[in-house]
């Protein structure tokens, strides 16, 4: 038995996989990646793939960037670990906190570091409750998220997530977590309803929910500026200003989950800038280190930070933290990753290469299987439908998307099926010529599968 076959057998025997049908995996087995370079990854058989999802929406600067490996090595030699408990700190975490606050133009005031976006959103839930307790508002604790939103998989963050697969058999969501409508006009809009009217309706629904629950009980509203794992849902232009106005009216904190959209994905450093969001909290991860190291950050504005600081003085401590909060190696990698993004103009490249991606995918809009093409910058989705005129999904849902994604993998392109939406999120370093190749491979894969789908 060759090495690849041995590894596949060991994988099936010993490893439980995330977001995988474990029974099905016993028959299919893994596609085992062995190395990566630039926008490409290579499996144990040597086959090359364009990584059209940046791994998990995250490898901004591409694979095997030597500068990140070098800075990690140097920091490992100098100070491989230290914590941020009890008045302790380390140089990279201090410098990274200052850098992140600077990138927001001072809209945020302080940073708190975690290991993942899930932990960051769990932390925000606790901070929201801590904040309202500090203000003498013990009933103002409910948090409104959105159907199809994605905010992580730990207990609180999975409750915020609005996907059934993250709730079934986990006894979630927790109490005090509510969900409002997804801003997907193609699927949720009424017949004849314009996108502007749709945005108005969703804001009215949010206000009605707040009033029904009681404004004195609703603490925060969380959303991704552009939804990722829920199907790459780009909101109507008027959506965020209207939703934010409702939140401000009822003193509801605004949480912008920029785990996927942060650091240039939409052609702006943060998607909050693109959509006019003025958040009280921001969640950052993934492209923060290009996922070379586990790291996430909670950013909070002065309004929130000052209350949390004061209350920690009243209680004698801020009783929350992780062993690896502000880990010096992860922070050093993040700083170098951000330098690369800035020096190489990758935010502007996301806008330019993203324009090519959006154009090429929209050229497929007339294909009989394509219901909608949506996206912004270097993030996009193509939604497949069984009936184009009626927008009817395939039965069972997800079958068509999975087939096209498998065919794309055969053709050397890794994408992600989200039900029957095929998601794209290539590294920010991708060139316009490489986008053309990516689009060609997808178009061929779509055509090859078209005859197989009813």
Spatial separation of the C-alpha atoms in residues 84 and 68, rounded to whole Å:
23
For residues 123 and 76, state if they share a domain: yes
For residues 193 and 256, state if they share a domain: yes
Q: Is the pLDDT of residue 453 over 80?
A: no
Place of tokens 């490898």: 59
Name the strand (E) or helix (H) holding 113.
Answer: strand 110-114
Q: Is the pLDDT of residue 1 over 80?
A: no
Coil, strand or helix at 430: coil
Which of 429, 428, 337, 340 shows the shortest CA–CA distance to 75?
337
Cross-strand pairs, 143: 177, 220
Cβ neighbours of 234 (radius 10 Å): 21
Residue 102 placed within a domain: yes
For residues 204 and 275, state if they share a domain: yes
- Long-range CB contacts for residues 446-452, cutoff 8 Å, separation at least 24: 446/364, 446/367, 446/369, 446/370, 446/382, 446/404, 446/407, 448/407, 448/411, 449/400, 449/403, 449/404, 449/407, 450/367, 450/368, 450/369, 452/403
For residues 87 and 224, state if they share a domain: yes
For residues 258 and 406, state if they share a domain: no
Mean predicted lDDT score pLDDT of the chain: 97
For residues 305 and 191, state if they share a domain: yes
Q: Is the peptide bond before 110 cis (omega within 30 degrees of 0)?
A: no
Residue 319's CATH number: 3.40.640.10
Write down which residue in 317, 343, 369 finishes a domain: 343
Residue 78 placed within a domain: yes
Spatial separation of the C-alpha atoms in residues 58 and 425, rounded to whole Å:
8
- Structure confidence by residue, pLDDT tens digits, 90-146: 999 999 999 999 999 999 999 999 999 999 999 999 999 999 999 999 999 999 999
Distances (CA, A) of 24 to 4, 16, 19, 90, 280: 19, 12, 12, 45, 43
Residue 400's CATH number: 3.90.1150.10
Spatial separation of the C-alpha atoms in residues 265 and 105, rounded to whole Å:
18
For residues 219 and 141, state if they share a domain: yes
Residue 225 placed within a domain: yes
The mean per-residue pLDDT over the stretch 261-273 comes to 98
Write down which residue in 307, 322, 343 finishes a domain: 343
Residue 2 placed within a domain: no
Residue 352 placed within a domain: yes
Q: How many domains does the chain have?
A: 2
Residue 283's pLDDT band (boundaries 50, 70, 90)? very high
> Looking at residue 452, what is its pLDDT?
82
- Structure confidence by residue, pLDDT tens digits, 17-59: 999 999 999 999 999 999 999 999 999 999 999 999 999 999 9
Whether 117 and 188 have beta carbons less than 8 Å apart is answered as no
Which of 259, 208, 255, 250 shows the shortest CA–CA distance to 229?
259
Residue 100 placed within a domain: yes
Residue 405 placed within a domain: yes
The mean per-residue pLDDT over the stretch 355-368 comes to 97
Residue 148 placed within a domain: yes
Q: Is the pLDDT of residue 454 over 80?
A: no
**Strand stretches in 325-378, DSSP E:** 370-376
What is the DSSP secondary structure assignment for residue 284, as one 8-state letter? E
For residues 355 and 277, state if they share a domain: no
Spatial separation of the C-alpha atoms in residues 372 and 411, rounded to whole Å:
23
Q: Is the pLDDT of residue 160 over 90?
A: yes
Axis crossing angle, helix 117-134 with helix 302-315, rounded to the nearest 10? 70
Burial of 454: CB neighbours in 10 Å, binned 0-12, 13-18, 19+: exposed
For residues 50 and 141, state if they share a domain: no
DSSP letters of 158-193?
HHHS--GGGTTTTT-SPTTEEEE----HHHHPPTT-
Coil, strand or helix at 343: helix
- Structure confidence by residue, pLDDT tens digits, 166-210: 999 999 999 999 999 999 999 999 999 999 999 999 999 999 999
Spatial separation of the C-alpha atoms in residues 113 and 306, rounded to whole Å:
18
Q: Whole-model pTM above 0.75?
A: yes
Length of the chain counted residue by residue: 454
For residues 382 and 236, state if they share a domain: no
Q: Tokens standing for 8?
A: 């596949």
Q: What percent of the chain has pLDDT over 70?
A: 100
Q: Give the domain range for residue 402.
A: 31-61+345-450
Q: Is the pLDDT of residue 221 over 70?
A: yes
Whether 429 and 349 have beta carbons less than 8 Å apart is answered as yes
Which of 154, 199, 196 shows the shortest CA–CA distance to 181?
199
Whether 311 and 134 have beta carbons less than 8 Å apart is answered as yes
- Structure confidence by residue, pLDDT tens digits, 299-342: 999 999 999 999 999 999 999 999 999 999 999 999 999 999 99
Spatial separation of the C-alpha atoms in residues 127 and 281, rounded to whole Å:
10
Whether 453 and 394 have beta carbons less than 8 Å apart is answered as yes
The mean per-residue pLDDT over the stretch 212-228 comes to 98
DSSP letters of 232-282?
-BPPPTTHHHHHHHHHHHTT-EEEEE-TTTTTTTTSSSSHHHHHT---SEE
Cβ burial 114-136 (10 Å sphere, 16+ → b, else e):
bbbbbbbbbbbbebbbbbbebee
For residues 104 and 224, state if they share a domain: yes
Write down which residue in 320, 343, 366 finishes a domain: 343
For residues 258 and 238, state if they share a domain: yes
Whether 299 and 259 have beta carbons less than 8 Å apart is answered as no
């Amino acid at each position: 038995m060759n090495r690849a076959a041995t590894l596949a057998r060991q994988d099936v025997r010993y490893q439980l996989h995330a977001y995988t049908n474990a029974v099905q995996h016993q028959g299919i087995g893994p596609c085992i990646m062995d190395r990566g370079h630039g926008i490409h990854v290579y499996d144990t058989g040597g086959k090359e793939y364009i990584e059209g999802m940046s791994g998990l929406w995250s490898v901004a600067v591409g694979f095997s960037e030597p500068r990140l490996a070098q800075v990690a090595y140097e920091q490992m030699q100098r100070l491989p670990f230290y914590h941020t408990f009890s008045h302790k700190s380390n140089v990279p975490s201090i410098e990274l906190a200052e850098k992140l606050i600077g990138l927001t133009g001072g809209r945020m005031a302080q940073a708190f570091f975690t290991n993942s976006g899930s932990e960051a959103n769990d932390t925000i839930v606790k901070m929201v409750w801590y904040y309202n307790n500090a203000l003498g508002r013990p009933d103002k604790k409910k948090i409104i998220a959105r159907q199809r939103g994605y905010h992580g998989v730990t207990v609180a963050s999975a409750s915020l997530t609005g996907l059934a697969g993250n709730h079934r058999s986990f006894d979630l969501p927790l109490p005090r977590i509510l969900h409002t409508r997804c801003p997907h006009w193609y699927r949720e809009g009424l017949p004849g309803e314009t996108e502007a009217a749709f945005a108005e309706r969703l804001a009215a629904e949010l206000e009605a929910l707040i009033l029904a629950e009681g404004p004195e009980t609703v603490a925060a509203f969380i959303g991704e500026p552009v939804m990722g794992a829920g199907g790459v849902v780009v909101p109507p232009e008027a959506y965020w200003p209207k939703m934010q106005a409702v939140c401000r009216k009822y003193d509801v904190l605004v949480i912008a989950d920029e785990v996927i959209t942060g650091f240039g994905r939409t052609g702006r450093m943060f998607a909050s800038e693109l959509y006019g969001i003025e958040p009280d909290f921001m969640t950052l991860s993934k492209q923060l280190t290009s996922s070379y190291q586990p790291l996430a950050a909670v950013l909070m504005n002065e309004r929130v930070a000052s209350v949390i600081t004061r209350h920690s003085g009243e209680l004698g401590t801020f009783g929350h933290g992780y062993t690896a909060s502000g880990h010096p190696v992860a922070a050093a990698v993040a700083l170098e990753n951000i330098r690369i993004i800035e020096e190489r103009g990758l935010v502007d490249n996301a806008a330019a290469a993203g324009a090519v991606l959006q154009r090429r995918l929209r050229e497929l809009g007339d294909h009989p299987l394509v219901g909608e093409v949506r996206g912004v910058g270097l993030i996009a989705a193509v939604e497949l439908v069984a009936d184009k005129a009626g927008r009817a999904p395939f039965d069972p849902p997800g079958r068509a998307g999975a087939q096209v994604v498998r065919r794309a993998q055969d053709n050397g392109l890794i994408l992600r099926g989200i039900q029957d939406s095929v998601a794209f999120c290539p590294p920010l370093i991708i060139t316009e010529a490489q986008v053309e190749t990516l689009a060609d491979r997808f178009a061929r894969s779509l055509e090859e599968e078209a005859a197989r789908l009813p």
